[in-house]
Structure 1
Amino acid sequence: MKLASIHYYPVKSAAGHDVHEAEVQPWGLAGDRRYLVADERGAVLTARDEPRLLACLPLLDGDTLTLTGPHAEPLRIARASEMPAASAMSTVDVWGTPVELTDCGDDAARWLSELAGRPVRLKWLDDPRRRPVDPAYGTPADRVSLADAYPLLLTSNASLAQLNDWIAEGAVERGEEVPAPLPMRRFRPNVVIDDVGTPFAEDEWKQVRIGEVTFRVTKGCDRCVLTTVDTATYTKGKEPIRTLSVHRKWDGKVWFGINLIPDGPGRIAVGDPVVIL
């Protein structure tokens, strides 16, 4: 098996980037999900509720973030050293964990509010050591940035191919037109694996080494309605949740991909060997 692709997402629920190599840090890939969008109540806003966030393409250059989108000129966000002082920090509930985040200022708020069509603010996690992983699946020392729950998400091309076959079969059975295959970006993985002999073989993995980095597998990834958003039109459909509910449903949830925690830092690159330990 080998590493087929690497992806990171500077702003939670915004568009991501494909890269040839990446630095693995204890809390995730370097630059991955260190920013999020909060609504006027101070709660996390994601593309589950506001799909237009996916039209934002954040460009990260060192510690400078530039937001690009279809509605306004690009906006450069201050370097980390220029961010507001601690007085501009606030607590945001990130899926059950209160996390202190730094506000990125009024210019970023206006830019994103215009895109989202509602008042929002951009928040920054200055210290990724601040948010622990769920202790039921990690150690007290494990940390995660602003990803949903764990530092990295792994998927396989074999599993996606099987899912797309199931979707096509279901369409035929219902007398519907067979849709175009779903792209992997619907699932927002960090690492995608090639040459996995059996679809969903990753369900059984406990530990995996990618290149020079070893990862623990915490649990499978239960999927939400974000996977139903077409990343080209920002509209919601029924797939893949409808088909996953037929073939991949247990414990009241549907599943695709596995969550990883790195055992140490290192670098990974497309083409790296992938070994199950």
Structure 2
Amino acid sequence: MANGSRQAAWEFFGTELKRRREDAGLTQAELGLRVFVSGGYIGQFEQAIRKPQLDVAQRIDGVLRSDGIFERLCRKLIDDPRYAEYFARAAELESLATEIHEFAPALVPGLLQTKDYAWAITVAMNPFATDEYIQEKVSGRLDRARILKDAARPLYWVVLHENALRIPVGGPAGMAEQLEHIVRLARERTMVVQVLPYSAGPYALMNGMVVHMEFDDAPPTAYTEAVYSGNLLDDPAVVKRSRAAYDQIRAAALSPEASLTLIESAAEDYRRCAGTT
């Protein structure tokens, strides 16, 4: 489903939700109370600003006696072929976040990837896939990165383990371009980047990839990922512990300016290897 068609479908979801809620004689606050979200959330669902989680859609069906229509719509719309099934919900939340704090222990995060880097990663993970399949996945990743270009872009702070600078992906020229892209975004103050150097020691490697997201009107959420699986964490105690671990990693990392110097040096090394300096 194209992006425009998907948004139109979410708008239909919101319009239908509003119609059925009003037919039931409920205010947004009253419906929210019954499905365990705020009235403001219901208003954002109706305006297609925020997308409900599947369990919320199911509860709405129960309260409004809508014969499963909202669950069916939700299942169809969160099934985005550009993203792995386990990541689709995290991608939706990412687009709504006001702050994103990420730790990348091995590879450059999707929000920062260039086309060539994303292509090389996707091919490595799907060695028998068609070019059409690879292109769809790469396009989805590049589409996600557009949130960093929006006027209302989130505050984005990322800690890269030095592995992300040293693991060659897509050849020396491609790696140089990727690292230069990160430096450019940081120099433009689109985001803040720090590097956790090898000299920081091994403790940080015990913490895998994690993304913390904060919102204007919702509790913070964390997303972690393993092999072909992902996990959204919304238990406040668990998210708090995860954020504390992230803060320790950030404290052990190089300063933003020193990090940029290291990234620029690595990019120059790749340029020399590629013979393009």
TM-score by length of structure 2 reads: 0.29
Q: Which has the higher contact order (CA 8 A, sep 6+)?
A: 1
User: Going by fraction, where is helix more abundant, 1 or 2?
Assistant: 2
